[in-house]
């Protein structure tokens, strides 16, 4: 069977779903691979490198020719119309925002796997693209803030005087938040963080940051549940003073399947020192910071609020390396003897499968159609 790796067509997407090393592993599993010319250009993977790994380089998109199409972003609905019944796609699908595409995939009888739906069980960890890309986002959020901050992050003791370290506050300590904490610490900042989940406290401390103990109910479990507006109001009151004292705030708070909680208000921004920088990693899912907009810099007085948009795409080589490996690992779960034949009784494949044989299998998406 044939796996296709297209050049990404959505605006500003610089990653690619396969690299020469993963092409080699797919070929080792008995598959043939075709790569659209130039697909790896932003990730510095040349057509020649893919060819050396055994891929065929093709001039156009593989939809309609390859049996399995792997991409980072969802396919455009017009491309998906070229797919044949039984074809397989693997990508992020963001189904709630891609209902036209979901209809096309179901109508065409495509078996579509959405990496945003992958169950986070141990066996699926090596295919967990949400985590690998959140890691990139958390890292880049801090570099972005450091680049915009009109001051140092580390402490310096010089003949011209001593510069104190910057204070960084991280809100939400999941995969992205923990990576933001680790990155800010490596750059020498003094870091504190807060998460509604009790278990996050130990992880925050293990990275050398201070966990904010707030007089608020915390949650057990691995994933945050939606908080009431009263709870969030109280949280905002309690963190206001810490936001005001910070030079940088990185907000990453999210609740699966829900709009991001609002944690930082305009008044809180106005209380920050001039030149402070806020990076809202949740900007694309509603925003943790009032007024933030994806991909935009917004000034609130003298405070810069950057709304993050697809930060992993800005580091295409390593983001693609992790993503391509995630995709190859997911394909390995459904490949035997050179054939990709997903067993949909497998909990990982079943959980990640959005459409199959004309049906939308994911109930929350079905309800939106």
Q: Is the dihedral of CA 244, 249, 254, 260 positive or negative?
A: positive
Closest CB to ligand NAD: residue number: 174
User: Cβ of residue 225: shortest distance to ligand NAD, in angstroms?
Assistant: 9
Q: Which stretch binds ligand NAD (CB under 6 A): 74-82, 97-105, 255-263, 357-365?
A: 255-263
Q: How many C-beta atoms surround the C-beta of residue 41 within 10 A?
A: 14
Q: Which residues pair with 169 in a beta bridge?
A: 192, 249
| Residue 173 binding ligand NAD, by CB under 6 A | yes
User: Contacts with ligand NAD: how many residues (CB under 6 A)?
Assistant: 29
Does the active-site annotation cover 235?
A: no
| Residue 134 binding ligand NAD, by CB under 6 A | yes
Q: What is the DSSP string of 115-172?
A: GGG----GGGGGG-HHHHHHHHHHHHHHHHHHHH-SS-SS-EEETTEEEPPPEEEEE-
User: Cβ of residue 232: shortest distance to ligand NAD, in angstroms?
Assistant: 6
Does the active-site annotation cover 285?
A: no
CA angle 340, 346, 350 (to 5 degrees): 85
Q: Which of 16, 196, 212, 305 binds ligand NAD (CB under 6 A)?
A: 196
CA angle 173, 133, 37 (to 5 degrees): 170
| Residue 216 binding ligand NAD, by CB under 6 A | no
| Residue 174 binding ligand NAD, by CB under 6 A | yes
Q: Which of 83, 254, 278, 319 binds ligand NAD (CB under 6 A)?
A: 254
Q: Of 143, 185, 152, nearest to 318 (Cα)? A: 143
Q: Which residues pair with 57 in a beta bridge?
A: 35
Q: Of 28, 8, 6, nearest to 328 (Cα)? A: 28
Q: Of 325, 319, 286, 289, nearest to 305 (Cα)? A: 289
Q: Which residues contact 336 (CB under 8 A, 6 or more apart)?
A: none
| Residue 194 binding ligand NAD, by CB under 6 A | yes
| Residue 172 binding ligand NAD, by CB under 6 A | yes
Q: Which of 150, 223, 267, 273 binds ligand NAD (CB under 6 A)?
A: 223
Q: Which of 81, 120, 186, 309 is catalytic?
A: 120
Burial of 23-33, coded b for 16+ CB within 10 Å and e otherwise, reads bbbbbebebbb
Q: Please identify, using beta-carbon distances, which residue of 16 and 254 lies nearer to ligand NAD.
A: 254
Q: Which stretch binds ligand NAD (CB under 6 A): 139-147, 165-173, 179-187, 345-353?
A: 165-173
Considering only residues 301 through 340, tell me which ones interact with ligand NAD, judged by CB under 6 A: none
Q: Which of 4, 18, 40, 261 binds ligand NAD (CB under 6 A)?
A: 261
Q: Which of 126, 131, 218, 329 binds ligand NAD (CB under 6 A)?
A: 131
| Residue 128 binding ligand NAD, by CB under 6 A | yes
Q: Which of 253, 268, 278, 354 binds ligand NAD (CB under 6 A)?
A: 253
| Residue 242 binding ligand NAD, by CB under 6 A | no
| Residue 20 binding ligand NAD, by CB under 6 A | no
CA angle 95, 37, 74 (to 5 degrees): 0
User: Cβ of residue 32: shortest distance to ligand NAD, in angstroms?
Assistant: 31
Q: Which of 9, 94, 126, 131 is catalytic?
A: 131
Query: How far apart, in whole angstroms, are the C-alpha atoms of residue 130 and residue 182?
Result: 18
Does the active-site annotation cover 236?
A: no
C-beta of residue 17 within 8 angstroms of C-beta of residue 70? yes
Q: Please identify, using beta-carbon distances, which residue of 16 and 239 lies nearer to ligand NAD.
A: 239
Query: How far apart, in whole angstroms, are the C-alpha atoms of residue 11 and residue 75?
Result: 12
Q: Could you list the residues that contact ligand NAD (CB under 6 A)?
A: 120, 125, 128, 131, 134, 171-177, 194-197, 200, 222-224, 227, 235, 252-256, 261, 263
Q: Which residues are catalytic?
A: 120, 125, 128, 131, 223
């Amino acid at each position: 069977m044939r796996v296709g790796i297209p050049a990404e067509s959505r605006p500003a997407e610089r990653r690619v779903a396969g690299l020469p090393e993963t092409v080699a592993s797919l070929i080792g599993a008995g598959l043939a691979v075709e790569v659209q010319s130039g697909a790896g250009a932003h990730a510095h993977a040349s057509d020649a490198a893919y060819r050396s790994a055994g891929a065929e380089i093709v001039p156009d998109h593989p939809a309609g020719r390859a049996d399995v199409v792997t991409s980072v972003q969802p396919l455009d609905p017009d491309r998906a119309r070229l797919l044949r019944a039984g074809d397989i796609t693997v990508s992020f699908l963001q189904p709630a925002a891609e209902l036209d595409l979901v209809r096309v995939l179901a109508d065409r009888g495509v078996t579509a796997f959405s990496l945003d739906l992958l169950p986070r069980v141990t066996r699926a960890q090596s295919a967990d693209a949400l985590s690998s890309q959140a890691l990139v986002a958390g890292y880049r959020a801090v570099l972005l803030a450091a680049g915009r901050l009109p001051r140092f992050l580390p402490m310096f003791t010089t003949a011209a005087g001593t510069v104190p370290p910057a204070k960084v506050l991280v809100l939400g300590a999941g995969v992205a938040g923990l990576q933001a904490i680790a990155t800010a610490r490596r750059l020498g900042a003094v870091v504190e963080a807060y998460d509604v989940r009790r278990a996050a406290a130990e992880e925050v401390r293990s990275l050398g940051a201070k966990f904010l103990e707030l007089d608020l109910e915390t949650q057990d479990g691995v994933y945050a549940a939606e908080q009431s507006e009263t709870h969030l109001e109280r949280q905002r009151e309690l963190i206001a003073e810490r936001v005001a004292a910070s030079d940088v705030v990185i907000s990453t708070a999210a609740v699966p399947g829900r709009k991001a909680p609002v944690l930082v208000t305009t008044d809180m921004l106005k209380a920050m020192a001039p030149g402070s920088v806020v990076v809202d990693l949740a900007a694309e899912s509603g925003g943790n910071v009032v007024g933030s907009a994806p991909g935009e810099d917004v000034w609130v007085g003298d405070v810069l609020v950057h709304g993050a948009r697809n930060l992993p795409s800005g580091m295409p080589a390593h983001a693609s390396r992790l993503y391509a490996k995630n995709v190859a690992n997911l394909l390995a779960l459904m490949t035997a003897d050179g054939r990709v034949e997903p067993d949909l009784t497998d909990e990982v494949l079943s959980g990640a499968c959005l459409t199959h044989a004309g049906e939308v299998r994911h109930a929350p998406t079905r309800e939106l159609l």
